[in-house]
Structure 1
C-alpha cells in the first residue's frame, strides 16, 4: 500500500549520513524521472499516463518502480538513483531535512475508506479502545492517522498498548484472534466484513483529506529539469481526465501497471472505490491558500503528530515541502 514499511530512528540517521554530498553529485539525466512507490491503488494514474504515452508527449520518460519498503525508496531518492517518490504527505515529512531536500509537486489521491481500524463488535468508539492492544505499523501513515483519532477522542498512545507490526500482520493477527484491534487497510477491511470478524470501527471515508498521496521530487530535479516536471504534471492531469471518461478501460491499464494484489481489474476497481483520485481541479483546491489552506493545515498537523513522537529531522514548514509552481502551467 501507499504506507509501506518503516525503520527506526537509528536506520534513518544512517540513511541520511552524507546525503548532502550525494545530492551534489546525483547524476540526474534530463528527460527521465524514476519514481519509487509501494503497491497502492492511488498510484494507478502514474501507470495510466505512462501506458497512454502522455509523459512521452512532453518528451519525458517516467520509470515507476515498486519498492515495498519506504526506507529503501527514500534511500534511492537520497542517492539520486530515484528522482522522487509517490507517498503520503505525512510519510515524506519524516525524511525531509536540511540535507535531504525534496518537495511535493502534485497530489495524486486521498484515502476514502481504504484505511481503517478493525475492532471487536462490542467496541463503539475510539474511547472504548483504552487499555487494549493495538496492532499497528509504527512510523507509518497508520500511526499518524491513529494518533489524530486518539487526539480527537482526548487520548494519546499512552492510553492503549501499541504492538508494532506491519498492517498486513496486524490484520492477520486480528482475524486469528491474537490481537483485539488492528490499524490496517484494504483488502483486509473487506475480508473482515465478509468473514464477519469484528467490525470496521472507523475508516478513512470518515476522515477525508488526512491520508493524501503526492508526487515528491528531489529539489535538484525540480531546479534542473523544470520541463520534465512540467511534463510529469501535465501527463498526470491528462491521465485523470482519461480515467473520468473511460473508467473501465483505465482500471484495466492501471491494474496491470500497479500489479501485485491489485493486478486483477476487479480487485483494482473495488479498491479504487476507497480512494478519491485527484486531477487539476482538486489539486488547485487542495493547495489553495498555501500554508493556511487544506494542504498547509495537513503539513502543520503532520508536524504536530510526528514532531510530538520525535520522528522529524527538522521543523518542516509548508514551503519546505511543497512546490505548486507546475500546477499553474
Structure 2
C-alpha cells in the first residue's frame, strides 16, 4: 500500500477515535436537566424540613432546582403564589381559609408540620398583666388576617373575655417586636421567632399567657390549581424530598436544628427548648378540614351582613401527589 494511503488511513483513524472519545465524554458528563420550583417560605422552625431538604441536596437528587423566596409571614408567601411570583408557598390555615372564602384558585398539597404552641400572647408585666384577666382594656398588637389573629380570638373566647374589652392594634409583621419593646402596645399575639426574641429581650418583664392544648397549628404547602394540574410529577418529586427530610429531622434532631438556625438567623437558647412543640410529618389529615371550617366561620362571623357560606374545603385539597408518594399519610374522609 502506498505511503500516502497509509498516512491518510492513519489520520482518519485518529479523527474517528477523537470523535468517539468526545462523544463518550459528552455522554458521561451530561447531567439531567433540573426542573425549577420557586418556593415562598417563611423562616421559622416549622420550615425546618424544607431547609434540610435544601441543605442535604434532597431536592436536587429528585431532579429539582428549588429557589427560595423569604417572606416574614405565610400570608405574604401565599400572595406571592396567587400573583404568579412563586410556585409553592408555606402557610398556616388562616390565610388559606381567607383566600378560599374569596374564591381564589389555591390548593393545599400537604401539611409539613404541626405545632403545639405556635402562637403565644406575650405581655409586659410592667403594664399590670400577669394573667388572661388582666388583658381587659389593654392594647394587643397582631398582624391582621394571620393565624395569630385567629388564635387571639379563641384565646379570648376561652378566657371569657369579650373581644370588645380589648383594643386590637394591627401591625406590620416587622413591627411586632418593636411595638411591644417600646411600649406602643401592652401585649402581642405572634409566632416564632418573634416569641423567642421578645422573651430574650424582656427577660423578667415578659408574661406569657397561654392555654395548653388550646390550638394546634398546621404548616402547609400550597399552590395554585393550574400549577397542581400541570406539574403532577414535579409535586411528587418535591414531596418525596420532604418525606426524606422529615426522616432526617427525626433521626438527627440536633443537626436539623443547626441547619434551621442558619436559615432563621437566630441563636436563641429558647429555640432548642421550643423545638419539642414542632412535629414534622408530611400528611393530609381530616383535622385540617375541621380547622379550616372553624376559621372560615370565625371570619364570616366578623363581617356583618356577609351571606357567604363556609366553602367545601375538600375542593381546596390536592391529595393525588401525596397519595402517590405516601398513601398512608392521607387520612381525609372521601380520599
Fold match, TM over 0.5?
yes
From 46, 50, 58, the equivalent of 2:50 is: 46
For the Cα contact (< 8 Å) 1:32–1:63, is it kept in 2? Answer: yes
Match of 2:71 among 30, 42, 67: 67
**Aligned match of 2:179:** 173
Unmatched 5+ residue regions in structure 1?
1-28, 288-292
Q: Which residue of 1 aligns with 2:313?
A: 318
Q: Which residue in 2 is equivalent to 1:279?
A: 281
Structure with more helix by fraction = 2
Are residues 101 and 244 of structure 1, via their aligned partners in 2, closer, same or farther at CA, if it must alter by over 3 Å? Answer: same
- Secondary structure of 2:112's counterpart equals strand
Q: 1:251-281 CA distances to partner (integer Å, 9 max, x unpaired)?
A: 233333x24x33x5x669537526413224x
> Quick check: which has more Rg, 1 or 2?
2
More displaced 10-residue stretch of structure 1: 88-97 or 118-127: 118-127
- Superimposed CA distance per residue, residues 174-207 of structure 1 (whole angstroms, 9 cap, x where no aligned partner): 334443222233345445545201410116x543
Q: Secondary structure at the residue paired with 1:306? A: helix
Equivalent position of 2:251 in the other structure: 245
Q: Give the conservation status (yes or no) of the 8 Å contact 2:92–2:219.
A: yes
Query: Does 1:199 pair with 2:203?
Result: no
Residue aligning to 2:83: 79
In structure 2, the partner of 1:10 is none
Matches within 5 A, 1:248-259: 248-256=254-262, 258-259=263-264
Confirm or deny that 1:295 pairs with 2:288: yes
Equivalent residues in 2 for 1:114-153, closer than 5 Å = 114-121=118-125, 123=129, 125-153=131-159
Matches within 5 A, 1:224-235: 224-235=230-241
Q: Measure, in 1, the Cα distance between the counterparts of 2:174 and 2:281.
A: 30
Task: Quote how far apart the aligned CAs of 1:247 are.
Answer: 1.9
Q: Look up the match of 1:103.
A: 107
> Please, what TM-score do these two structures have when normalized by structure 1?
0.75
Q: 1:101 to 1:169 in 2, by over 3 A?
A: same
Give the 3 Å change call, closer, same or farther, for CA 191–221 of structure 1 in structure 2. closer
List per-residue Cα deviations over 1:180-237 (Å, max 9, x = no partner): 222233345445545201410116x54342x211001111111111111111111111
Figure out how many residues of one structure are paired with residues of the other and give that number: 286
Structure 2 alignment gaps of length 5 or more: 1-32, 325-335
Q: Which moved more, 1:145-154 or 1:105-114?
A: 105-114
Q: Match of 2:322, SS?
A: coil
Deviation at 1:241, TM superposition (A): 0.4
1:55 and 1:232 in contact (8 A); partners too: yes
Partner of 2:302: 309
